[in-house]
Amino acid sequence: MSKKVHVKGTLVELDGDEMTRVMWKMVKEKLLLPYVDMEIEYFDLGLPNRDKTYDRVTLEAAEAIKKHWVGVKCATITPNKDRIKEYNLKKEWPSPNGTLRAVLDGTIFRSPILVSNILPTVKAWKKPIHIGRHAYGDVYKNQEIRVEQPGTAELVFSPADGSAPTKRLVHEFKGPGILQGIHNTDDSIRKFAKACFTYALDQKVDLWFSDKDTISKTYDSRFTQIFREESENWKTEFEQAHITYFFTLIDDAVARIMRSEGGILWACKNYDGDVMSDMLGSAYGSLAMMSSVLVSPSGQFEYEAAHGTVQKHYYKHLKGEKTSSNPMALIFAWTGALKKRGELDKTPDVVAFAQQLENAALETVQSGVMTGDLVKVAVPSSNNKVVYTEEFVDAIAANLRRKID
């Protein structure tokens, strides 16, 4: 066997929970460690260790990504009441992804993993459509009132310096109804825009941004304006990369996306991104074929799968049953991180290895060897064969070995 490729910089590894933790180990042992020699800073974000460390481990991991620029994360449990009982937790710890997002001030981008034998529901789509969702404010940080009787609803802003408040009449209620207040901040919108321009340039794809500024002439218009300002800052770099920035209204964007061939980063406001990322995920085939990356405005990258810990499969695994859980998005989290590490360290052999691993994984599915979730959406063929997770990873390993040796 040829010499292992050497990763120069440090990779920050965030381990996780349940079935993804099981698959994570398999991927590392069979697809990475035999070929790559890497300096890893390891953080165990599995729920028992988060509980044991009073969740300090999550903050330490986030700080390590800030320091070393590239992280790779396994899926983790976000505790709820059931999990508190199941894991006998000290408290209901917050979502690790929320903590990481807050520390890195990042935006999440999702991209489908495409194979030739799983056709998107939308025939026009040939290349990935990446989604960037603004993960702050709007209806996700709202205040709501159920109006029970006639009355006046006003929007009031009281300046901190004590000057006169600004007031707007929202509605004179003649009877029962509903009322909602939402906000966003220039700082958050600008960081979102910067992360989108960074990611579009990184992926060398056109950037679209959409909102409804014809109706929302102050609120959505502020988003439009900030994106326009940022587009000026990125003009030269975009021109050099032969990519463009394009603004259009959300309804027009939806219509155009259906006719486009893909190869776009679509930057969406919070609610639009929530809805559209699920639509794209399902139209591209399977949640297990969707990768995800958190990008900070200063250019730190944290790669992961878009799916959760696949709890139901894990309970089967605990009973000793074999499962056909799909590790593709976890593999692509590692290859994404290795490619980024190679790019930053200027080590093309690391980028080349990551590409070989991706190809080996894609070719395995394309040869018909696949997990249960994929066979349901793949083009029917007599070659199609459902395998258990371990056999699937072994098939990828065999393909990879052929490429490398």
Q: Are 207 and 228 in contact (CB under 8 A)?
A: no
Residue 78 makes contact with ligand NAP by CB under 6 A:
yes
* Nearest to ligand NAP of 221, 384 (CB atom): 384
Can residue 61 be called a binding residue for ligand NAP (CB under 6 A)? no
* Shortest Å distance, C-beta 215 to Mg ion: 23
274 belongs to the binding site for Mg ion (CB under 5 A): yes
The residue among 298 and 311 lying less far from ligand NAP, judged by its C-beta, is 311
Minimum Å gap between C-beta 278 and Mg ion is 5
Closest to ligand NAP by CB, 99 vs 210, is: 99
* Strand pairing category for 290-295 and 107-112: antiparallel
Instruction: State in angstroms the smallest separation of the CB of 225 from Mg ion.
Output: 27
Q: Which of 26, 119, 287, 404 binds ligand NAP (CB under 6 A)?
A: 287
| Contact yes or no for 132/265 (Cβ under 8 A) | yes
Q: Using CA atoms, how far apart are residues 348 and 342, in angstroms rounded to an integer? A: 6
Burial class for 296, CB neighbours closer than 10 Å (0-12, 13-18, 19+): buried
CB 134 within 8 A of CB 222: no
Q: Does 385 bind ligand NAP (CB under 6 A)?
A: no
Choose among Mg ion, ligand NAP, none what residue 326 binds, the Cβ cut-off being 5 to 8 Å by kind.
Answer: ligand NAP
Is 58 a binding residue for ligand NAP by CB under 6 A? The answer is no
Question: Of Mg ion, ligand NAP, none, which one does residue 404 interact with (CB within 5 to 8 Å by kind)?
Answer: none
Partner that binds at residue 77, options ligand NAP, Mg ion, none, CB closer than 5 to 8 Å by kind: ligand NAP
Considering the complex, state which of residue 137 and residue 308 has its C-beta at the smaller distance from ligand NAP: 308
274 contacts which partner out of Mg ion, ligand NAP, none, CB within 5 to 8 A by kind?
A: Mg ion
**Segment near Mg ion (CB under 5 A); pick from 177-185, 197-205, 268-276, 294-302:** 268-276
**Per-residue interface string for the shown chain with Mg ion, residues 100-139, x marking contact by CB under 5 A:** ----------------------------------------
- Alpha-carbon distance 221 to 101, whole Å? 25
Specify whether the CB–CB gap between 31 and 62 falls below 8 A.
Answer: no
Binder of ligand NAP out of 207, 310, 338, 400 (CB under 6 A): 310
Q: How far apart are CA 358 and CA 61, in angstroms?
A: 26
Q: Are 8 and 347 in contact (CB under 8 A)?
A: yes
One residue of 10, 76, 210, 291 binding ligand NAP per CB under 6 A: 76
Task: Give me the least distance between CB of 312 and ligand NAP, in Å please.
Answer: 4
One residue of 270, 326, 335, 347 binding ligand NAP per CB under 6 A: 326
Stretch that binds Mg ion, among 214-222, 228-236, 245-253, 273-281 (CB under 5 A): 273-281
Give the residues lining the site for Mg ion (CB under 5 A): 274
